[in-house]
């Protein structure tokens, strides 16, 4: 059964509310009483008190809103007040009142007064919505203004696959390779989860046929990072999932965000935790063999032939050979001849060949040949040779992959064996 849920990762922020009064200048004679309009801004200049970043519409990343009123002809004992109201919720966010200058109650003043709301943490927000700001003088409403904190759009930050998630839907083990008994989790991280947006996942096989799909419409606004997740249980027989390659397409409101490829493995990749070391003193080398693997060994015509036997049944064959290097040279011709014989025996059609030279982890230079084929059913097959020279000898690691579903299995074994090669037996 597919599963999809959404949870908020971090609780919504609370607002911290503060107020400030700027430049109270005593007048020489009683001036006429007057009040300027309420100016809404993102901040004020600390020295002049002038509003900075004025406007009436701000985005969700604005963490401070200031309301400023200029005045003239008021007494120190007179009172001013600001009232901030969230019109969407009809909630009074701030209602604060102060005397203009309690230290000089009979004197006249002119200047500016301001009040602000802000978030103490930049990861928190001022809730989106429409706000009303009222300015009062001695209890009488004299000025009003308003502003809007715009609601953000939902955007996907990332989408990851894993075989395990936590309670919030966060991926614990991001991966693109899965065992047949795993559940593949798709974790979609959103910057904001805004009601009305729809996240959809289409699970597809290698032929791009849909094997499952699920969609989740966000019902409640969350103004912070959050995760939404989907799940594909591989062992559920109704999906008909077999080893091979798959992908999941992630959509936000029917717009494709990303297509993520993943592989369902035929078997667990081989491991090298135990010391399963093969040593041949006659040919002067050693290699590690995957845990629980066996081998069959024979020597003829001054050459060693070693067939490695995995601990499970697999359509991938592994061989090691060692002999004097000279009879195998040039290596290009040796690889061509040997691979063609193997291909003819298995009814394969040659597609292309690649060659590269690189240094093993143990600092031995090696030459790698990759020969790609198709069988009679059109399936891809690969024959790989890795040839490493040492002490006038050549070690050949040969792998024949009959089923591309075993690529990861074969690659893990190949890398572990060849990188463990050593000609130092002391």
Q: Over the stretch 188-242, which tens digit does the pLDDT of each residue have?
A: 999 999 999 999 999 999 999 999 999 999 999 888 899 999 999 988 878 888 8
Residue 21 pLDDT greater than 60, yes or no: no
User: Where does the pLDDT of residue 164 fall: very low under 50, low under 70, confident under 90, or very high at 90 and above?
Assistant: very high
User: Where does the pLDDT of residue 387 fall: very low under 50, low under 70, confident under 90, or very high at 90 and above?
Assistant: very high
Identical topology for domains 12-149 and 154-264: yes
**Phi/psi at 196 (5° precision):** 100, -20
Among the CATH numbers 3.40.50.720, 3.20.20.70, 2.60.40.2550, 2.60.40.10, which is that of 12-149? 2.60.40.2550
* The overall pTM is greater than 0.75: no
Question: What are the residue boundaries of the structural domains of the chain, listed by start?
Answer: 12-149, 154-264, 277-418
Closest CA to 185 of 199, 196, 201, 205: 201
Section 133-150 average pLDDT: 96
**Phi/psi at 25 (5° precision):** -110, 115
Say what the pLDDT of residue 29 is. 60
Residue 270 pLDDT greater than 90, yes or no: no
Say what the pLDDT of residue 241 is. 85
Closest CA to 401 of 243, 238, 179: 243
DSSP conformation letters of 322-368: EEESGGG-SHHHHHHHHHHHHHHHTT-EEEEEEEEEEE-TTS-EEEE
| β partners of residue 423 | none
Say what the pLDDT of residue 23 is. 45
Residue 89 pLDDT greater than 50, yes or no: yes
H or E stretch at 408: helix 407-418
Residue 8 pLDDT greater than 50, yes or no: no
- Rounded to an integer, what distance in angstroms lies between the CA atom of residue 20 and that of residue 393? 85
**Phi/psi at 258 (5° precision):** -165, 150
Share above pLDDT 70 across residues of the chain, in percent, rounded to a whole number: 91
Say what the pLDDT of residue 188 is. 97
The tens digit of pLDDT for each residue in 355-368 reads 999 887 777 899 99
Which residues neighbour 411 within 8 Å (Cβ) at sequence distance 6 or greater? none
CATH code of 277-418, in short, is: 3.40.1000.10
Out of 13-17, 367-371, 411-415, least confident range: 13-17
H or E stretch at 414: helix 407-418
Say what the pLDDT of residue 15 is. 43
- Rounded to an integer, what distance in angstroms lies between the CA atom of residue 290 and that of residue 287? 10
Section 386-392 average pLDDT: 93
Higher pLDDT among residues 240 and 100, named by residue: 100
Residue 403 pLDDT greater than 80, yes or no: no
Say which CATH topology domain 154-264 has.
Immunoglobulin-like (2.60.40)
User: Where does the pLDDT of residue 9 fall: very low under 50, low under 70, confident under 90, or very high at 90 and above?
Assistant: very low
* Mean pLDDT value across the chain: 87
């Amino acid at each position: 059964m597919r599963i999809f849920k959404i949870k908020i990762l971090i609780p919504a922020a609370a607002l911290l509310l503060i107020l400030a009064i700027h430049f109270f200048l005593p007048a020489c004679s009683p001036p006429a009483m007057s009040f300027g309009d309420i100016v809404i801004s993102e901040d004020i200049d600390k020295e002049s008190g002038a509003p900075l970043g004025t406007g009436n519409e701000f985005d969700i990343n604005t963490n401070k809103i200031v309301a400023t009123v200029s005045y003239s002809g008021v007494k120190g004992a007179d009172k001013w007040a600001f009232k901030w109201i969230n019109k969407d919720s009809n909630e009074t966010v701030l209602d604060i009142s102060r005397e203009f200058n309690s230290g000089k109650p009979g004197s006249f003043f002119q200047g500016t007064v301001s009040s602000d709301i802000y978030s103490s943490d930049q990861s928190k927000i001022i809730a989106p919505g429409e706000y009303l700001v009222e300015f009062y003088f001695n209890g009488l409403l004299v000025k009003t203004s308003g502003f809007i904190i715009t609601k953000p759009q939902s955007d996907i930050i990332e989408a990851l696959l894993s075989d395990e998630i936590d309670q919030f839907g966060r991926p614990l083990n991001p991966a693109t390779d899965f065992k047949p008994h795993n559940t593949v989790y798709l974790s979609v991280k959103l910057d904001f989860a805004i009601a009305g947006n729809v996240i959809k996942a289409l699970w597809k096989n290698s032929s791009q046929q849909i094997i499952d799909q699920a969609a989740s419409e966000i019902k409640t606004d969350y103004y912070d990072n959050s995760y939404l997740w989907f799940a594909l249980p591989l062992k559920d027989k109704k999906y008909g999932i077999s080893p091979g390659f798959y992908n999941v397409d992630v959509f936000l409101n029917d717009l494709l965000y990303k297509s993520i490829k993943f592989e369902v493995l035929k078997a667990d990749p081989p491991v090298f935790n135990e010391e399963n070391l093969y040593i041949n003193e006659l040919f002067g080398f050693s290699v590690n063999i995957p845990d629980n693997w066996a081998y069959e060994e024979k020597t003829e015509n001054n050459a060693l032939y070693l067939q490695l036997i995995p601990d499970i049944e697999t359509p991938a064959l592994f061989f090691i050979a060692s002999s004097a290097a000279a009879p195998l040279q040039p290596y290009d011709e040796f690889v061509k001849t040997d691979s063609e014989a193997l291909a003819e025996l298995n009814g394969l059609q040659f597609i292309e060949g690649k060659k590269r030279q690189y240094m093993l982890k143990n600092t031995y230079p090696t030459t790698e040949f990759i020969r790609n084929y198709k069988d009679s059913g059109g399936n891809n097959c690969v024959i790989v040779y890795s040839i490493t020279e040492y002490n006038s000898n050549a070690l050949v690691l040969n792998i024949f992959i009959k089923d591309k579903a075993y690529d990861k299995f074969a690659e893990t074994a190949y890398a572990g064996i060849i990188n463990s090669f050593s000609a130092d037996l002391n």
